[in-house]
Chain A
Amino acid sequence: MNIQTHIEETVMPVPSASPTPIIEVRDTQVFYGEKQAIIDVNVEIEPNAVTAFIGPSGCGKSTLLRCLNRMNDVIPICRVEGSITLAGQDIYAPEVDVVALRQKVGMVFQKPNPFPKSIFENVAYGPKINGLTKHKLEMEEIVETSLKRAGLWEEVKDRLDQPGTGLSGGQQQRLCIARAIAVQPKVILMDEPCSALDPIATATVETLIDELREKYTIIIVTHSMQQAARVSQKTAFFHLGELVEFGTTEQIFSAPRQERTQNYITGRIG
């Protein structure tokens, strides 16, 4: 498949200081009917790093996140203009297979949403429908590796046949991350992945995010600025549909250049 080959090329280690971006968003506008939700956004996502999208409610951060794997396609009044490329390939090109795209760009949602099936089947489901493997043994390996990478294996290895919904909230969220990993994505989108979790479960997921960036590119939308500061290397601040400022997380949180960023992160505008 086209996308696949392109990705293989760009994931080669790039020795330069600023690596080739894996996702490039160019002059992008998003409309919900008449209302414009994203205005002229340009952003480049660095591979193998965590990029945080922050901003007040309704600023467009989740909308943009959902554009990156075409989750907005299911909303009939939603219209996307401009160009969004994954490893150089336009993801809105007519020939793109959306299912294949979402395999490359996985997603984890705010509320853990495991399937009402066993832990094993939750993780195995993606690889199965994508035809990644046909052998039972191979499937078991994929499930184990995915659960290990999601930091859940030790906790669930003796009860893989039990329902995923029976796990705690934090475990369920890590199960969803394992499910996303199982189909070998390049990018994982996370929309408020910890907002339904307690502080300990949040800390576990944050540790996991930090480990995952070695293998994946992660984009996280969060309302918690502390979380953005803790887990991300790059931060983008959105306000009223515009990308106000994009920089290293350190710079954004210690010395933002734009007044709107400053006012938002210090708690002066909501």
Chain B
Amino acid sequence: MENTHIVKSFDRDLTQIENMILEMGGMVENQIMLSINALIARDEDLAKTVRAADKPIDALESAIDENSIRILALRQPLASDLRHVVCAMKVASNLERIGDYCKNIAKRTVALSGHDSVGSSEKTLKRMGQLVQQMVRDVLDAYVKKDLAMAEELILRDEEVDHMHNTLFRELLTYMMEDPRNITSCMHLLFIAKNIERMGDHTTAVAEQIYYVVTGELPEDDRPKSDMTSQIVVSAEGDLI
């Protein structure tokens, strides 16, 4: 923030919240990578580590909430300060959800142990994971810099994740139709793909919060929504439509 407050401790309070968000974001980013790695390698120990590492993320979210509420109560922030504090709470809640999805991937990794990968689906999952991880990294960067252009670009970038999710959805449905023995694996992989797709949505929500902090307005809801999986059905002939 270019201008400092007359009350210096107010600046310190705001900076502290921002630092906590960054710490939380870093942890979440790491969780995405580890949960996907554990899945690909069927590494149950790593999956266990991921599940345990979700606790400190949740704790950090509570701490950010507490700090934000304290600032609201004691300092009654206004204008950009108000947006900053309210946004911190929302960003923390979105990051916490991303953390939960990583934990869920880790749980499913345990269920998938002993099942081989199906087709190229896990490669796609890995690419999706990398994409979302990069989005989280960039959104945190945009958050620190209050970079409007970057936030807007991120909102659009989520489309790519949605496209990959659509492709994977069709692919996994096909495998299940080919051989019912694939169903257990494919169902779990499908949920994992959905988890990653949701992570992208939460990252987009964070980008929207950045837009609000900077401009004081929420972005218009005209971003591309490309998740078509809720409309895909299998016809009587066994075709995907």
Which A residues lie at the B interface, using CB under 8 A?
225-226, 229, 253-256, 261-263, 265-270
Contact = CB atoms under 8 A, between A and B. Distances in A.
B84 to A, nearest CB: 10
Interface string B207-226: 00000000111000000000
Contacts of B81: 266
Contacts of A266: 5, 77-81
24 contacts: A226-B76, A229-B78, A253-B78, A253-B82, A254-B83, A254-B216, A255-B79, A255-B217, A256-B79, A261-B79, A262-B80, A263-B3, A265-B78, A265-B79, A266-B77, A266-B78, A266-B80, A266-B81, A267-B5, A267-B6, A267-B10, A268-B4, A268-B5, A270-B6
B7 interface: yes
B78 A225 contact: yes
A264 to B, nearest CB: 9
* Complex A-B, nearest 5 residue pairs according to Cβ-Cβ distance, in ascending order: A255-B216, A268-B3, A265-B78, A266-B81, A253-B78
A254 B3 contact: no
Interface of B: 3-7, 10, 76-83, 215-217
A227 to B, nearest CB: 11
Contacts of A269: 3, 6
Contact of A253 (B4, B10, B79): B79
A265 B10 CA distance: 13
Given A254-B82, A266-B78, 6 more contacts: A253-B79, A254-B79, A267-B6, A267-B7, A268-B4, A270-B6
A225 B217 CA distance: 22
Contacts, number: 41
Interface residue SS majority, chain A = helix
A76 B194 CA distance: 76
Q: Which of A262, A263, A267 has the most chain B CB atoms closer than 10 A to its own CB?
A: A267
A169 to B, nearest CB: 24
A174 to B, nearest CB: 26
A268 B76 CA distance: 14
Contacts of A270: 6
Nearest to A259: B3
Q: Which of A225, A253, A268 has the most chain B CB atoms closer than 10 A to its own CB?
A: A268
Contacts of A265: 78-79
A207 to B, nearest CB: 19
A225 B79 CA distance: 12
Nearest to A226: B76
Contacts of A256: 79, 216
Contacts of A267: 5-7, 10
B83 A255 contact: yes
B65 to A, nearest CB: 20
B6 A262 contact: no
A203 to B, nearest CB: 16
Contacts of B80: 262, 266
Q: Which of B3, B6, B79 has the most chain A CB atoms closer than 10 A to its own CB?
A: B79
B154 to A, nearest CB: 22
Contacts of A225: 78
A246 to B, nearest CB: 15
